[in-house]
Structure 1
Amino acid sequence: MTSNQHGRCNGLHRRELLQTGAAALSGLTLADFLRADERSTLDPAYRKRSIVNVWLAGGASHLDTFDMKPDAPAEIRGVFQPIATRTPGVQICEHLPRLAERLDRMVLIRSLMGTVDSHDGAMCATGYPPGSLKNLGGRPNIGSVVAKFQGPTNGNVPTAVAMLSAYNPSEQAYFRSAGFLGPAFDCYMPDSAEGRANLLTRNITPERRSLLSQLDTLRRDVDARGNMAAMDTYAERAFQFVTSREFAHALDITREPPEVRSRYCADLGNSPVSKIKLGLQNARFLMARRLIECGARCVNLTWEEGGERRWDTHRDNFNALKYELLPSFDIGLSAFFDDLETRGMLEDVLVLVWGEFGRTPRINKDAGRDHYAPAASALLFGGGLKVGQVIGSTNRYGEHPSNRPIHYQQLFATLYRHLGLDPAMRILDRTMNLLEHTETIRELVV
């Protein structure tokens, strides 16, 4: 059969399109991915449950956000003032007013411990330090674990999605990689540079803007020829996935009403201190909601305004937070919370917001704060949690937990329980537990 008989889509054979699929899977086709998912089962009781894992890349300062120390010396407390929240007796940073208004429906954890001094996202993606089980391929991120042991809720939408920034990809690879589970369970990575995503791998060269309409034509053509029935079952599912209007629409946030998009303020103009564009990361919150609505079970999401600034504020910590990080983060995360609440999704969607470590209590000579592993904070909402509470505390200078220390892996245990997975389950040919710290956070369970 000639190339013309096969037909081409902007330089791609139809057969090549099926082989390419819709995910960057390290050389594997989407059909391979779907074969792997087919071996998974999902308890119907947990079919609607999902998580959004938000990584504040670079490590946000706990003392300047959720665990302020207003009575400490100036070189510890910094220049920001605390403000009251809707949770009685609880204060957070003055530059997070929208989150303060919603804190009675959220949970703060102020006593995180057990992390390491490394910018790699490993602790927030897998619960383990970078390099753990490297000789076996590394630890899998939480989304890949879900894809392996539960699988999809909707054949048109990937089980796990990773929306990562282009800055220092090696640090963020942990949020995509399935590690020793194998690349068939890697998270799907959409290209969301313009708030949309294409449905092909990154190494495809034809013009992508016209591809979606061509996929519609391809679907009609194949259906008319009756060839769908002759395809391998998994290849047919892959075809349905790559041509799914549902998935394409989920990735297209321009389909949202303008009044919804405006709440996320995805364009706040330029920073007065560095001229970077602000608010662009907030589109990811909106896309995460749309993906979850369509059936994704885990979305790993990096939030680092401006890319290179991130939350790694060794220098000029307070200007970076005041003008570039906290205001747009406050707007975007609050809009995401409101969106989930308005749509009745908070019971089933559990959102976790955290960084790989905290920052030094003592301000350095460059008006910054350095890496600090002994203490950190996290914010959670949704998932049917017991909200309106603060769990744990640090000592008077924010140096280490003084009450109810919570290990990073305990948050993973809580996420896995929400999804219907046993954090003590045996994996890797039943030779080891999924987590070492398998106790869920009892204060959160209704």
Structure 2
Amino acid sequence: MLTIKGPASRYCDGHNRRSFLKVGALSFGAGGLSLADLYRAEAASGSTKSHKSVINIFLAGGPPHQDMWDIKTEAPSEVRGEFQPISTNVPGIQICEVFPKLATLMDKAAVIRSVVGCRGGHDGVQCLTGWDGNSLRNLGGRPSIGSAVAQIQGPVDPSVPPFVGLAAKTRHVPWSDSGQAGFLGSAYSPFKPDGPGMQNMTLKGISFDRLADRRSLLTELDTMRRDIDISGTMEGMDAFGQRALDVLTSSKLVDALDLTKEDPKIVARYGDGKPYKYQYDGAPTCNDQLLMARRLVEAGVRVVSLSYGRWDSHSENFDMVRDHGGKLDQCLSALVTDLDERGMLDDVAIVVWGEFGRTPKINAKAGRDHWSKVSCAWMAGGGLKTGQAIGATNRLGEEAVERPVDMQEVVATLYHTLGIDTHSTTIADPTGRPQFLVDSDPIAELIS
């Protein structure tokens, strides 16, 4: 098994790791699929080279909609909570006081206050696919956005995977899901730089020079085998193997994951999200993952997914929102500003949301419980029509009373920003039957 050691870097879990890629079994899902296999599958799909991207930020646990983008000042005290609304730079739109930086960027974002269709599961399946987790389960399940995009559009650059999952490992395992490939198979699972394959990030004495020598040897061996292969299979294997080695010998992916190569001022702008508080069985507040996401899309990744914080606030809801919200305000505003300054914002769509909302009534532990009737989302970039608030809930934040937005509409909008027409684009399931990506249209207010 051949692995390559690159520059040292520190990931959000605090461990020193070596940025690496492995020829034999890169960390694509749980199956340890070879990179050459991935490229064979991508070639069969017919890749395109346009480069639009999505950064999907999952607020695992269910963020409290009425303590974020939909403050209910007219509600009674047992519903209203402790926060006050603040004005944004878009007249008439107010958001929670813990987001002062995002308030100054409201013209570049849109808040959706009426997300519906949450099935109530404590996982990110709907945020990653748009579908209930039981949909087509007998065929392997629906593919996530990143997996579908990898199959439809393929890589922008042969040395950069089209789909990267940064979700940190969590004790409640579903919250660390970066998106499954479903019925597409493990060839389209996300590349996880902090996944199980991290244990193999050592070259064990093999330098890049020695790798080049081995490449030459492998080429000679493959040529010899091809000479006796009347079927022509070896010729194709040479091409896919070459692309796998392109990843190994390219610095693009390794450099994108190495934040020591970033301007220290930019790193400081994002912050690190420490100390990690209210984490429990959820994800840490890794602010630097948002910076890593920007570096990855800049390097050519089409879809980056990550899990930020632990929002399952059955107790101490307001203390949690002050902590998580303040940190999210810093890194998310930094991401928008960073992309804008680099001229990338129109090409990169950002969505921030969770699996459901929280109860209107505050419980005896100063917490809010699960509430699947309505949730919220925050979106920016991707050429969307921003500077608006879409939908509304009633006075108590119980249900959508104006412009309900289904979770599938949000996912359809993300596909739209990637240049994928959800009306006409299908992917074949294992039976050969074409399956549409979602059943809903994109959010008209954001694209028309």
Counterpart pick for 2:39 among 23, 27, 34: 34
Matches within 5 A, 1:192-341: 201-202=197-198, 204=200, 208=201, 210-211=202-203, 214-222=206-214, 227=219, 230=223, 232-269=238-275, 281-304=286-309, 310-322=310-322, 324-341=323-340
Query: Which letter maps to 2:314?
Result: H
The 2-side partners of 1:390 and 1:366 are apart by 31
With the length of structure 2 as denominator, give the TM-score of the two structures: 0.86
Matched with 1:65 is 68
Shift of 1:315: 0.5
Matched-pair contact (CA < 8 Å) for 1:105–1:387? yes
Alignment check: 8 A CA contact 2:3 2:23 kept: no
Aligned pair 1:165/2:168, yes or no? yes
Taking a change above 3 Å as real, the CA distance of residues 8 and 111 of structure 1, as seen in their structure-2 partners, is: closer
Aligned residue among 436, 440, 443 for 1:441: 443
Q: Is the 8 A contact 1:215 1:243 kept in 2?
A: no
Q: In structure 1, how many angstroms separate the alpha carbons of the residues matched to 2:244 and 2:2?
A: 19
Task: Work out the CA distance in 2 between the residues paired with 1:34 and 1:290.
Answer: 22
C-alpha distance in structure 2 between counterparts of 1:169 and 1:183, whole Å: 22
Distance (Å, rounded) in 1 between the aligned partners of 2:69 and 2:205: 47
Q: Which amino acid aligns with 2:197?
A: T
1:19 is displaced (CA, Å) by 1.8
Question: RMSD between aligned alpha carbons?
Answer: 2.7
> In 1, distance between residues paired with 2:204 and 2:108?
40
**Cα displacement (A) at 1:393:** 0.8
- Equivalent position SS for 1:167: coil
Amino acid corresponding to residue 142 of structure 1 in structure 2? I
**CA displacement at 1:359 relative to structure 2:** 0.5
Q: Is the 8 A contact 2:48 2:156 kept in 1?
A: no
What's the TM-score, normalizing by structure 1?
Answer: 0.86
**1:28 touches 1:184 (CA, 8 Å); kept in 2?**
yes
From 134, 152, 172, give the equivalent of 1:131.
Answer: 134
SS at match of 2:24: helix
Structure 1 match to 2:367: 368
Distance 1:131 1:68 in 2: 33
1:121 equivalent in structure 2: 124
Q: Partner letter of residue 201 of structure 1?
A: G
Partner of 1:387: 386
SS at match of 1:201: helix
Which residue does 2:8 correspond to in 1? none
Residues 29-71 of structure 1: CA deviation (Å, up to 9, x unaligned): 1111110111223455xx1211111100001000000011011
- SS where residue 177 of structure 1 aligns? coil
Counterpart of 1:74 in structure 2: which amino acid? S
Check whether the contact 2:315–2:367 (CA below 8 A) recurs between aligned residues: yes
How far 1:242 sits from its partner (Å)? 2.5
Q: Distance in 2 between matches of 1:224 and 1:129?
A: 48
2:29–2:186 CA contact under 8 A, matched in 1:
no
Change beyond 3 A, Cα 1:111–1:178: same
The percentage of aligned residue pairs carrying the same residue is 41
Closer, same or farther: CA 296–232 of 1 in aligned 2, 3 Å: same
Given that 2:145 and 2:179 are in contact with CA atoms closer than 8 Å, whether structure 1 keeps it comes out as no
**1:279/1:189 CA distance change after superposition, 3 Å:** closer
For 2:3 and 2:111, how far apart are their aligned partners in 1?
54
Residue 239 (structure 1) shift: 1.4
Alpha-carbon spacing, 1:78–1:119, altered in 2? closer, same or farther (3 Å): same
**Structure 1, unaligned runs of 5 or more:** 1-5, 11-15, 193-199, 305-309
2:351 is equivalent to residue 346 of structure 1? no
Decide whether aligned partners of structure 1 residues 132 and 173 sit closer, same or farther in structure 2, where only a CA change above 3 A counts: farther
Of residues 187, 191, 194, the one that matches 1:188 is: 191
In the alignment, the residues of structure 2 paired with residue 365 and residue 167 of structure 1 have an alpha-carbon distance, to the nearest angstrom, of: 27
The 1-side partners of 2:434 and 2:37 are apart by 25
Q: How many residues end up aligned between the 2 structures?
A: 414
Instruction: Write the letter of the residue equivalent to 2:317.
Output: N
Displacement of 1:137: 1.0
Deviation at 1:149, TM superposition (A): 1.3
Instruction: Give 1:120 deviation, angstroms.
Output: 1.3
Judged with a 3 Å threshold, the aligned counterparts in structure 2 of structure 1 residues 414 and 275 are, in CA distance, closer, same or farther, namely: closer
Aligned partner of residue 237 in structure 1, secondary structure: helix
Distance 1:88 1:214, change over 3 A: farther
In structure 2, what is the equivalent of residue 197 of structure 1? none
Any conservation in 1 of the 2:88–2:106 contact (CA below 8 Å)? Answer: yes
Q: Secondary structure at 2:355's aligned position in 1?
A: coil
Worse-superposed segment, 215-224 or 104-113: 215-224
CA deviation after TM superposition for structure 1 residue 337, in Å: 0.8
Task: Give the match's secondary structure for 1:314.
Answer: coil
State the one-letter code of the partner of 2:253. Answer: F
Q: Secondary structure at the match of 1:111?
A: strand
Cα deviation for residue 24 of structure 1 reads 4.3
Note the 1:389-404 alignment, pairs <5 A.
Answer: 389-404=388-403
